[in-house]
Amino acid sequence: MRRWRAVRMGYERFAPVERAIEINGDRYTFWQPPDLDALIDVEAFERDERIPYWANVWESALVLAEEIAGMEPGGRSLIELGCGLALPAIVACRRGFRAVASDYEDDALEGVRYNANRNGAEGLETLLLDWRRLPDDLPMFDLVVAADVLYEKHHAEALAAVVARTLTPNGTALVADPGRARAVNFEPAIRAAGLGIVKQQPRRPHGITTGPEIDIYRVTHPR
């Protein structure tokens, strides 16, 4: 008699492992793939420079999540751009923001839904979003956030354009970055898009004493 091996479907196919995260005293349990390198698709990289950065919760996401956890939602809407596993958006949803997690990767959004449902953020919406082809009906948001998304030179201009398109007139964008070389292009790109920008004092995530300090860029419309 032939034995059939069960095939894991959905996010379970990545055999995710558990990671405990604490944000401003609140505990989260995240499940992420154990090996980012094993997820690299050579054909996808050659076609579109796709690397599965989404498969880890990076230090920039921790600092951004801490920043959001200290905010009062006040009925505000929030979108996370290039969300990966979307810790900041999940924290925002639990805090009471009307939150949307967006990414270019379907696999990332599978991980978002999996983790949102296990962390009390069932109301979090997900959106497949290509910065190069924004839908005409994409709404504006009171808070636009992104963590560690400035990998290539062209990402700065692309992100600046998306922020300018999605940020409400009185809104704020927060972009966290670990000091990547390409991040120097972000400030001029934001100013060229007609927005104002201030870089906050860099810091590490709470409880972490080594590794890069994280910059947070605060972006607003001129007033």
Per-residue pLDDT, 10: 86
Give the distance between the most distant pair of CA atoms in the chain: 74
CB 216 within 8 A of CB 187: no
Percent of the chain with pLDDT over 90: 79
Of 155, 151, 157, 170, nearest in space to 223 by CA: 170
Give one word for 20, left, alpha or beta, with left for phi > 0 and alpha for psi -120 to 50: beta
| Contact call for residues 112 and 123 (beta carbons, < 8 A) | no
Location of structure tokens 């292009």:
185
pLDDT at residue number 48: 54
Asked whether the CA dihedral 136, 141, 147, 152 is positive or negative, the reply is positive
CB 192 within 8 A of CB 160: yes
Q: What is the pLDDT of residue 34?
A: 82
Cα–chain center distance at 169: 22
The candidate with the shortest Cα–Cα distance to 107, out of 60, 28, 50, is 50
Write down the CATH number for the domain with range 59-220: 3.40.50.150
User: Which residue stretches of the chain have pLDDT < 70?
Assistant: 1-9, 36-50
Domain coordinates of the chain in residue numbers?
A: 59-220
Looking at the DSSP bridge assignments, the partners of residue 43 are none
- Predicted structure pTM score: 0.90
Token reading at 71: 């905010």
Token reading at 135: 């839908």
Total residue count of the chain as it appears in this document? 223
Residue 38: predicted pLDDT: 66
C-alpha–C-alpha distance, residues 214 and 59, integer Å:
8
Half-sphere exposure in the Cβ direction for 7 (13 Å, CA): 3
